Amino acid sequence: MHNRTIIIAATATALALAGAAAAYSWSTTPDPKTEWTSAVTQAGFVPNAPHTYDEMFESSKAFCSTGSALAITGLARTALNPEQADTTAMPARGKDPDQAATAYGDATWKWACGHQQ
């Protein structure tokens, strides 16, 4: 009988911990900088040295005042000409400039500007 009590108690503890972990992971919000970095990396953006993704995320917040992802996309597009890849802080070498600008605009509006809806 004692062994059954230990097994039941261990099972109950494991279930409680699993439930708490699931509740925690469900209730936590994504980290905006991590999500933004992931999105722009997937779009092909790589910062030119000495710039970093952290710096680029903080800089991207300046675009929030434009009022929309579309406006940010337009601004980003002006800096994504292939001939500017060496002078732009964070180019998307080898990527379609229109698609890269759209991905940047969407990621910046959503994650840097806080419009996750």
Contact 109/97 with Cβ under 8 angstroms?
A: no
Residues 50-94: tens digit of each pLDDT: 999 999 999 999 999 999 999 999 999 999 999 999 999 999 999
> Alpha-carbon distance 54 to 37, whole Å?
8
Distance set, CA 8 to CA 13, 18, 75, 104 (Å):
9, 15, 61, 52
Question: Is residue 25 predicted with pLDDT exceeding 80?
Answer: no
Specify the amino acid at residue 111. W
> Alpha-carbon distance 1 to 45, whole Å?
62
Nearest to 36 by CA among 49, 22, 24, 52: 52
pTM of the model: 0.76
